[in-house]
A and B are shown apart, each in its own frame.
Chain A
Amino acid sequence: NAGVTQTPKFQVLKTGQSMTLQCAQDMNHEYMSWYRQDPGMGLRLIHYSVGAGITDQGEVPNGYNVSRSTTEDFPLRLLSAAPSQTSVYFCASSYSSGGGYNEQFFGPGTRLTVL
């Protein structure tokens, strides 16, 4: 199993450009999520999905869109990049909670710089 994969590893954008960060998992996990990591702020949840066709907002959703058309993929779209979106982005996946909790597995991250 490849686990959770993210592409690209690095990206530089200009203000106003759009792009999509890719995330895929091959573990048949229902739950997937996106976090951003900023110095001194830990990881903050952007969006999450509990299954194909179901998404919801996390703590910091503004400026980002997601969709979940398949179990395997959960892309994160930046509609009009801003310097405040310079960050490291992590995708994670797990089996659904089922009323308890299941360990999340993290991808290697995408480092995004917006000029």
Chain B
Amino acid sequence: AQSVTQPDIHITVSEGASLELRCNYSYGATPYLFWYVQSPGQGLQLLLKYFSGDTLVQGIKGFEAEFKRSQSSFNLRKPSVHWSDAAEYFCAVGGGATNKLIFGTGTLLAVQP
């Protein structure tokens, strides 16, 4: 079955510290992978996406993610977190003729001053 797992429900980091949010997927075909961010009361904003090619992808706001096929993972990273990064982060996988997206349950990031 197709699925996305985000094992960390809630993470707290100090401002300036590094961040890694985990994402594992199960998908039968070539996966297209995404990270979205949602600020409180807002819609979803695309941070980055992986379709093919270089397995390290750069996104907006200083985020990057690495696709590891052998581990079925697509972890999101940022070297230095800012207070404005506090939000909920969703990993998603899609593909195939129907263009459907399957989302993980999200990781809520809190940033301590």
Contact = CB atoms under 8 A, between A and B. Distances in A.
A102 B99 contact: yes
A65 B112 CA distance: 44
Give the contact-size bracket for chain A.
20 to 34
A106 B46 CA distance: 9
Interface residues of B, number: 27
B102 to A, nearest CB: 8
B28 to A, nearest CB: 15
Contacts of A43: 44, 90, 92, 101, 103
Interface stretch (A16-24, A68-76, A93-101): A93-101
A45 B101 CA distance: 8
Contact of B43 (A48, A94, A107): A107
Nearest to B101: A104
A57 to B, nearest CB: 11
A15 B98 CA distance: 33
Nearest to B4: A42
Contacts, number: 67
Interface string B83-113: 0000000101011111111111110000000
Given A43-B90, A108-B42, A108-B43, A103 B103 contact: no
B56 interface: no
Interface in A38-78: 40-45, 48, 50, 56, 58
B98 A42 contact: no
14 contacts: A31-B99, A33-B101, A42-B6, A42-B104, A43-B90, A48-B99, A50-B98, A94-B99, A99-B97, A100-B95, A101-B94, A102-B99, A103-B34, A108-B43
Given A33-B99, A43-B103, A104-B94, 10 more contacts: A42-B103, A42-B105, A50-B99, A97-B99, A99-B97, A101-B51, A102-B99, A103-B34, A107-B43, A109-B43
